[in-house]
Amino acid sequence: MVVVYHSALPMWDCQSLKMKVYRVSTSCAEFERDVVVPIRPNSILKWFGFSEEGMLVCQDSLEAVRCYSWSLNEWRVFYSLEGTRDSLFIQHIEGMDIYGFRLEQRENVKQQPMVLPRSIPRKIPMVWP
């Protein structure tokens, strides 16, 4: 189980986020580690979750997607829309593919996935920037 929280007050438009990782069994929850969750300055945490294989993934509002390496104890960017106006809406991550919606932003209107009729998520291969 993972709990993401503010570790300090935001300064200079930068969020100070951390995550506490717990190993949960049927009888107890044991604290495993406390790790900083990096997001870009002037952004907020947009999405946080596990991939189908158990990899931790976070996305900030500036469209950088990072995965956490348990062995190296660090985050790495594996997908970024930097330099575009597009938005990424993650549904789930499986293997080395993101399933979700990449929407092109026009003018100053924030696009969102359609609710009715339902949008079909597409496979977006991870690209190492």
**What does the pLDDT read at residue 111?**
59
**What does the pLDDT read at residue 113?**
55
Domain count along the chain = 1
Q: Which residues of the chain are modeled with pLDDT < 50?
A: none
Cα separations in angstroms, 99 against 51, 60, 62, 83: 10, 17, 18, 21
Q: By residue range, what is the domain housing residue 51?
A: 2-125
Predicted TM-score (pTM) of this structure = 0.70
How many other β-carbons are positioned within 10 Å of the β-carbon of residue 38? 16
Measured CA to CA, the distance from residue 121 to residue 109 in angstroms comes to 21
**What does the pLDDT read at residue 40?**
83
**What does the pLDDT read at residue 112?**
58
**What does the pLDDT read at residue 28?**
85
**What does the pLDDT read at residue 21?**
87
